Structure 1
Amino acid sequence: MSSESDYFRPSEAQSTAAYDSPYDTNDTTVLTRPDTEADRRPDPHRWHVGADLGLLVLRVVLGALVLAHGLQKVFGILEGPGIEGFATVLTAFGFQQATLLAWITGVTELVAGLLLIIGLFTPAAASAVVGILISAIWVRVDVNLFAGGVELETIYLAAAFALLFTGAGHISLDRRSPWFRRAPAFGFIFLILALGLSAVALFVMR
């Protein structure tokens, strides 16, 4: 028969549970936060030799070609038409105020090409090239020709579009800028701007 003191004596299960506490003073294990999916996700802004080198080559080549087109239009060098010659071409395509538009296009190509080469303000430079090329393809495309007769312009456009959303890469002056860290968001903003300016050129000045 159990005595009254047995009611205050801990049972064997209770005694065992008391020593199974997670706060065991003999446990010297350092508690750490478990890994999460975000912890295992690679840093999107770290250096990537292949990608950064590829973006450098793409950016410099496209920038050099765009800069050369600007030199042709503004200064008439490299067998270019100069402002008057390019204005004549724009007039033939139905544009109004062709001389003003020739200056805008030529200077834009000079600035955008230089910025692409050095990797500075890349979203703005790439969007300027996108806007010019959209307008050029719109007025020159011929559905009866292979690739509409604008395959070269289409390649330029694809390259500029890619840089618009990828950014300049780490080998650039943009590498510490907000638009480098958030390239897709800034790319979308500048794409809307490029489309708007192209619409003005095509439907207001033509």
Structure 2
Amino acid sequence: MPYSARVNTSDDEVTNRSSSDQAGAHSADTQRTDILAGVDDTPSDRDRDATRWHGGLDFGLLILRVVLGGTMFAHGLQKLFGAFDGPGIGGFAQALSGPFGYSGNTTLLSWITALSETLGGLLLVLGLFTPLGAAAILGVAANVVYVKWANGFFMGNNGFEYELLIGTVALALLFTGAGRISVDKNTPWRRRPMPFALLGLLLAAAASVVVLVVFR
């Protein structure tokens, strides 16, 4: 017996429409999930990269910080207290007005230099507020390089090679950050040092210009 063509009822249309809506909603949910997954995963991956241990790099940064910071800390103590057969504030003030050619308030400049070396060096050793410590050392080194520029590069002629090396290491630490073996380990300026490095560089440059303008 021949079958007659089946006629869609209103119930069939409702069922088909419901299935289509569910399929569309599932597709939209999938798209939203995929988009959100990409957004959510990116910061966490970046944070994991920023805190991932890298033994060689972090140990190397520790060596640079301790050697540079310890050296400048000792120089600061020489100026502040006359430690390690240093000149003390008065002796360093005389040196500033003599060989270095500063004509302003050299006693005040002696205090500024001594505190910059002592506190900046200590911050570098600890890896604490590293951009600030590196900027302090960089500012001092930049001033000495400027003063000694006419003497040439080599130390035998009282040149600026030592101060250039000190300033270069401080500048490098500004941009690398302290590394993970530091008090700064979980700080924003350790994880993303670039903006703080630029700020520190600006502070060092501004301080150097002010010292040269006011005290020379």
Category of TM-score, reference length = shorter chain: 0.7 to 0.9
1:165 is the counterpart of 2:178: no
Which of 136, 139, 153 aligns to 1:131? It is 139
Once the two structures are superposed, the pairs formed by residues 97-136 of structure 1 within 5 Å of their partners are 97-136=105-144
Question: Relative to 1, partners in 2 of residues 1:190 and 1:40: Cα closer, same or farther, differing over 3 Å?
Answer: closer
Mapped contact 2:151–2:160 kept (Cα < 8 A):
no
1:205 aligned residue? 215
1:58 aligned residue? 64
Matched residues in 1 for 2:77 and 2:45: separation? Answer: 49
1:74 aligned residue? 80
Q: Percent identity between the aligned chains? A: 46
Q: When the two structures are superposed, what TM-score results if normalisation uses the length of structure 2?
A: 0.75
1:182 aligned residue? 192
Question: 5+ unaligned residues in a row in structure 2: which ranges?
Answer: 9-22, 24-30
Question: Relative to 1, partners in 2 of residues 1:144 and 1:104: Cα closer, same or farther, differing over 3 Å?
Answer: closer
Matched residues in 2 for 1:174 and 1:165: separation? Answer: 14
User: Secondary structure, in 3 states, of the residue corresponding to 1:43?
Assistant: helix
Cα RMSD over matched residues?
2.9
Matched residues in 1 for 2:180 and 2:152: separation? Answer: 42
Matched residues in 2 for 1:87 and 1:186: separation? Answer: 32
Question: 5+ unaligned residues in a row in structure 1: which ranges?
Answer: 9-22, 24-30
Matched residues in 2 for 1:54 and 1:73: separation? Answer: 29
2:97 aligned residue? 91
Q: How far 1:179 moved relative to its partner?
A: 1.3
1:77-121 CA-partner distances (Å, limit 9, x unpaired)? 212111111001111212310001101111221111111111101
User: Secondary structure, in 3 states, of the residue corresponding to 1:204?
Assistant: helix
Matched residues in 1 for 2:71 and 2:211: separation? Answer: 22
Q: When the two structures are superposed, what TM-score results if normalisation uses the length of structure 1?
A: 0.78
Question: Relative to 1, partners in 2 of residues 1:186 and 1:140: Cα closer, same or farther, differing over 3 Å?
Answer: same
Question: Relative to 1, partners in 2 of residues 1:40 and 1:122: Cα closer, same or farther, differing over 3 Å?
Answer: closer
Matched residues in 2 for 1:200 and 1:189: separation? Answer: 16
1:28 aligned residue? none
What is the letter of the counterpart of residue 163 of structure 1? Answer: L
What is the letter of the counterpart of residue 58 of structure 1? Answer: L
Matched residues in 1 for 2:136 and 2:182: separation? Answer: 18
Residues matched between the structures, number = 184
Matched residues in 2 for 1:47 and 1:53: separation? Answer: 10
